[in-house]
Amino acid sequence: MKIVLDTETAGGFDNPLVYDIGYVVADNNGAIVKTRSYVIKEVYDNAELFESAYYKDKKSIYEERLKTGATKKVNLAYALYRLQKDIDKYGAEKFAYNSKFDSKALTKSIDKFNKSKYKLVATEIKDIMQFIDKIVNTQNYKQFCTNNKLMTKHKRPRPQKKAETLFRYLTNNPNYTEEHTALEDSKIELFILLTALGLSA
């Protein structure tokens, strides 16, 4: 079993604080058996702090999903408790795309809001980017990125390795735009992971 999680944060890159955590639990054939989506009260309801969120313009999406029950507003401790319970229940490994950032965001949030009993939740999250070489090193991928102007801004541009870019390539949809809400992004990251591992998605 695998858990693929994603976070959205406020507070800037150096001190990211989670206002949205979402994840999918999938079996080893890639079938999703559980999804969870939590808006974190401590950050989301702090107007000044939320104003520093890079994707603050998406607040209307959250407000709509809170109304419909598609996501729930909870304290950080509850979200971490549920995540730990799901890890234990399913015996699942944790994954995230660019997991260093998600680990950092969870750790910073745990420290900020004194939830140290959940410290282990933020550790040992495997990085999906460690598994994508067989995709991004192909000539087809490089050509796709070149053709669709999905190159880095380095002096010598290279194909991007963002989750959005990989999903565009894998679905042959160069116009796809990542939603940048945690649950929806975790779904595409699961797809990338399963494809990279040669499993059905």
The whole-angstrom separation of Cα 29 and Cα 200 is: 6
Per-residue pLDDT of 37-65, as tens digits, reads 999 999 999 999 999 999 999 999 999 99
pLDDT over 70 at 201, yes or no: no
Instruction: Collect all residues with Cβ–Cβ distance below 8 Å to 149 and sequence separation of at least 6.
Output: none
pLDDT at site 200: 57
Whole-number Å distance between alpha carbons of 42 and 57:
18
H or E element, residue 94? strand 93-96
Token pair for 26: 């999938």
pLDDT cut 90: percent of the chain above it: 91
d(CA 41, CA 79): 10
